[in-house]
Structure 1
Amino acid sequence: MEEDSKPYKWQSREQSLGYMVNWAARLFAREMDDALRPFGLMSGQLPVFFALADGKPQSQRDLVRLAAVEQSTMAKTLSRMERDGLIERMPDPSDRRSALISLSSSAADRLPDISAAVAAINARSHARLSEEESGLLLRLLHQVVNGLANDRS
Structure 2
Amino acid sequence: MDDSIGYLLARSRTMLMKSSDDLLSEFGITHTQGAILLMLSTGKYSTAADLSRETYTDGASMKRMIDRLSARGLILREPCPQDRRLVKLGLTADGAELAKKIPLVFCAVLNQHFAGFSAEEIGFLKSLLRRVIANNSQHQPIKIR
Residue 59 of structure 1: aligned partner: 47
Correspondence for 1:21 among 9, 13, 21:
9
CA distance in 2, matches of 1:80, 1:55: 20
Matched, 1:88 2:67: no
Answering whether residue 37 of structure 2 is matched by residue 49 of structure 1, we say yes
Paired letter, 1:65: R
Question: Does the residue aligned with 1:31 lie in a helix, a strand or coil?
Answer: helix
The Cα shift of 1:128 comes to 1.9
CA deviation vs aligned residue, 1:108-129 (integer Å, no higher than 9, x gap)? 1122322211111112222121
User: What CA distance in whole angstroms lies between the structure 1 residues aligned with 2:49 and 2:21?
Assistant: 25
Change in 2 beyond 3 A, CA 1:57/1:23: closer
- Any idea what SS the aligned residue of 1:135 has? helix
What is aligned with 2:126?
A: 138
Whether 1:101 aligns to 2:108 is no
In structure 2, the gaps of 5 or more residues are none
For 1:27, give the aligned amino acid. Answer: M
- The question of whether the paired residues in 2 share the 8 Å contact of 1:56 and 1:102 is answered with no
Q: 1 or 2 for the larger relative contact order (CA 8 Å, sep ≥6)?
A: 2
State the Cα distance separating 1:130 from its structure 2 match. 0.6
| Percent identical | 28
Greater fraction of residues in strand: 1
Gaps of 5+ in 1: 1-11
- Partners in 2 of 1:151 and 1:86 — Cα distance? 38
Query: Does the CA contact (< 8 Å) of 1:47 and 1:67 recur in 2?
Result: no
Of 92, 113, 119, the residue aligned with 2:107 is 119
**Alignment coverage as a number of residue pairs:** 141
Query: 1:148: how far off?
Result: 3.9
Alignment TM-score, normalising by the size of structure 1:
0.81
**Alpha-carbon deviations, 1:92-150, whole Å to 9, x = none?**
11111111101121011122322211111112222121101101111112222333453
Q: Distance in 1 between matches of 2:116 and 2:87?
A: 44
Residue aligned with 1:102, SS? strand
**Aligned alpha-carbon RMSD (Å):** 2.0
Contact 1:39–1:114 (CA<8 Å) still a contact in 2? no
Output the CA distance in 2 between the equivalents of 1:89 and 1:46. 17
